[in-house]
Amino acid sequence: MADASPSAAAPPRVIARTEGALGRLTLNRPEALNALDIGMIREMRRTLDAWREDSDVQIVLIDGAGERGLCAGGDVRALYDFLTTDRFEDTVAFFREEYALDAEIAEYPKPVVAIADGITMGGGIGIAGHAAIRVVTERSKLAMPETRIGFTPDVGGTLLLGRAPGRLGEYLGLTGSTMSGADALYAGFADHYVPSDRLDALREALAFRADPTGPSEIVLLFDETPDPSPLSAARGWIDEVFAGDSVVEILARLRATRQAEEGPDPAGVADLLGELSPTALAVTLEAVRESRAMDDLRPALEGEYRRVLWFAAHHPDLVEGIRAQLVDKDRNPSWNPATIGDLGADAAVPARSHVPPTPLWD
């Protein structure tokens, strides 16, 4: 006889609870590397709004369930479904609410501590990268890999890229390359390096330790110095190459650069760029350089909002990139235009000047 007992309710995708002085938000979708859907975004915002006036919550901690990472990004497969079934309003709603969450974390009146242990990419950078106190570990893998799917960095990532030393922002934004914890510290995406086996003790100290009183001082008790950043060893040629005025010039400089003793191979980087969406590369280069002159997150988010909705509404490379990487998984996208050499001088202009149908802020 079949078991007639009711099935257990699905676990919440965001676990919110208080522990001592700590309000703790845990992304709880480990089977999808804690990728964000709109329900998770809304739950985080509701909880943060409630904790603003809760005097028992003095510090907010954001972390991820499972051993693999904080958050792999937004739910890109859901975005593909929106874009291919005429649900553009859902696309707009997702980005507006995600960016509002990123801004709330950046502007929150109480200290926000984000633990970027493991994979933290795309939308995960939006959550972790704008927190007041950003922690990485030896397992951390941070990236803004949007060009890999014919897209452009968002969630305030362009601001972080623009603030990176030298031309690392252009390099990381165009290639989507992964940073280690040491790289993230060097590039300005993180503040502290705490070994993963000390994270539980750190959480407990944040919740219950009263001396020292500030969360930054508490984190410093667990902070260690990582090995040197591999990116730092490649700064010489990266700064020279990625200062090029255009994607075309950057590619030419890569082809003319010899392999250094340490760091990525310029020829390999050139081959990688040749496989990516030329339009996404042109838009990303302009976005990073535009954000470099900004002092605040909100203008960067506004620029990103224009660009991402232009891709969603007017350019085929986003849908094609998701199809090739995540749907059919043939890894053989057909970009428009097909090659970097086919880029026009004004390739990024439509994305920059696009007027979204709905303003970003209410």
The SS3 assignment for 165 reads: coil
Angle between helix 38-52 and 88-107 (nearest 10)? 30
The residue assigned the tokens 């968002």 is 154
DSSP-derived 3-state class of residue 331: coil
DSSP 323: I
Give Cβ neighbours of residue 74 (< 8 Å, ≥ 6 apart): 35, 36, 37, 94, 98, 122, 123, 155
Instruction: Say how many C-beta atoms besides its own lie within 10 A of residue 292's C-beta.
Output: 16
Name the residues annotated as catalytic. Answer: 74, 123, 146, 154
Query: 247 and 282 in contact (C-beta within 8 Å)?
Result: yes
Residue with tokens 């859902």: 90
Compute the CA torsion angle 188, 192, 193, 198 (nearest 10 deg).
Answer: -150
Question: What CA–CA distance (Å, rounded) separates 98 from 117?
Answer: 21
